Amino acid sequence: MVKVYLKKKITPRIAGGHPWIFRNEVDRVAGEVKAGDIVEVSYSDGKFAGRGYINPQSQILVRLLTRNRQEVIDEQFFHDRIARAWLYRQKLGYVENCRLVFGEADELPALVIDKFNDYFVLQTLSFGMECWKPAIVQALQSIFSPKGIYERNDVPVRELEGLKQQKGFLSAPFDTSIIINENGLKFHVDIENGQKTGYFLDQQDNRRAIQHIVKGADVLGAFTYTGTFEIHAAHYGAKSVLGLDISENAVAQANRNAALNGLDNICRFEAMNAFDVLKQWGKEGRQYDVVMLDPPAFTKSREQIQKAITGYKEINLRGMKLVKNGGFLVTSSCTNLVQPDLFLQTIEMAAKDARKKIRQVTFQAQASDHPIIWGVENTNYLKFLIVEVS
Ligand code: SAH
């Protein structure tokens, strides 16, 4: 096995648990390698650091899979890691739907697997992980005997690894329009054409957090996607719910979801640009008891963090202005580039500019099937905040 020697200065980060080794952090690669090869990584003093897969084409040259010298990287390794990930989710109370594998947080870097009851959607986002796709599929087959497995590798980040974007069946074909249960409600999930893996499981715990504040409330939701938060609001006793999303498809699916739960008399969804509409309605003086915002990541690159902060500030300012005195703003941010402290500062700035006083009700991260590894920043990405606004 080819050995990769690290530069001295990166020892603390790798020894501290971070699994990524960037190209400029490597002193030398002692041999010929090709993308996907398993290599042994050593610290500058020659001590064993771990084993992982290499990709000479990627900025992230090596991603570590194990720190255990005895552990062999083979089919069984992937089976055991996935079985361990499932055991963990079961311990936390997940039965039907969960993010079964959350990449780095499950020591399976660049692998995402969402479990929707008997159906599985996976993403292999690096060359090394792509090479083990057959082993991963085999492991899912043997642990779960699923009704279907689908890959949603139509993700631009794959191109940085020299992989093409693709999607399709990894099992016998099946009907990719499925229905899942969450918190006693039902939701259509479009595995083939929905956003990301089809459904945002990362908010599933947070959706329960609105239970008490929406009772008897007039609720406005923006960036609703298929209407999950809004339908929860109706289920928890909201008087009226209006949801907005820019995507016609999402709105159609949201209206179908409302009907599926018999809540279409309370919930209505419309295709609109939330940025424009919230500004306009603020000027008109419209007021709601609860405003919920869950915008997309405004940036994917570190260079554009300022742009993202401006976006978050602007949309939250507009949202706050629509909240009745003593009502609530429910707001999220889903990029790891804006870490929790910075997000809270941004909300504080928005409140100041909107001349509102806010009181923090709750501040959470993503659902606990997406565990956070301290020091591995990309595992800490979702912020979910409820504030009272006056
Ligand atoms: N709350 C959802 C996830 C929202 S994802 C859930 O829990 O399932 C973000 C959504 O914002 C996407 O559906 C996207 O279509 C929508 N979006 C993006 N830009 C928008 C805009 N300017 N106005 C309204 N919706 C927008």
Q: Which of 97, 193, 225 to mutate to test the pocket of ligand 1 (most atoms within 8 A of CB)?
A: 225
Residue 307 CA from chain centroid, whole number: 20
Let me know whether 300 and 340 are in one domain.
Answer: yes
Token duo for residue 290: 């609860």
Mutate to test the pocket of ligand 1, among 200, 232, 245, 281 (most ligand atoms within 8 A of CB): 245
Q: What is the mean pLDDT of residues 25-44?
A: 97
* pLDDT at residue 303 greater than cutoff 90: no
Segment 311-329, tens digit of pLDDT: 999 999 999 999 999 999 9
Distance CA 375, CA 387 (A): 28
Distance, CA of 132 to CA of 78 (rounded, Å): 8
Instruction: Please give the structure tokens belonging to residue 349.
Output: 């700035």
Among candidate residues 13, 44, 66, the one where a domain is terminated: 66
Q: What is the pLDDT of residues 189-203, one digit of tens each?
A: 999 999 999 999 999
Please give the structure tokens belonging to residue 7: 């530069």
Per-residue pLDDT at 304: 87
CATH number for the domain spanning 54: value is: 2.30.130.10
Pocket perturbation via mutation, ligand 1, pick of 231, 246, 299 by most ligand atoms within 8 A of CB:
246
Nearest CA to ligand 1 atom 22: 273
Residues 29 and 112 occupy one common structural domain: no
Contact predicate 289/217, CB 8 Å: yes
**Domain range holding 171?**
75-176
Cα of 254 from ligand 1 centre, angstroms = 12
Domain boundary residue, one of 31, 66, 101: 66
Per-residue pLDDT band for 302 (boundaries 50, 70, 90) equals confident
> How many Cα atoms occupy the beta-carbon half-sphere of 221 within 13 Å?
31
Last residue of a domain, one of 66, 86, 107: 66
Answering whether pTM is above 0.95, one says: yes
Distance in angstroms between the alpha carbons of the first and the last residue of the chain: 63
Residue 353, pLDDT score: 97
Query: What's the pLDDT score for residue 269?
Result: 98
Query: Are residues 25 and 153 both part of a single domain?
Result: no
Residues with CB under 6 A from ligand 1: 195, 200, 203, 222-226, 228-229, 244-247, 250, 273-275, 294-296
Per residue in 332-371, pLDDT (tens digit) is 999 999 999 999 999 999 999 999 999 999 999 999 999 9
The bridge status of strand 166-169 relative to strand 177-182 is: unpaired
Output the CA 267–ligand 1 centroid distance in Å.
17
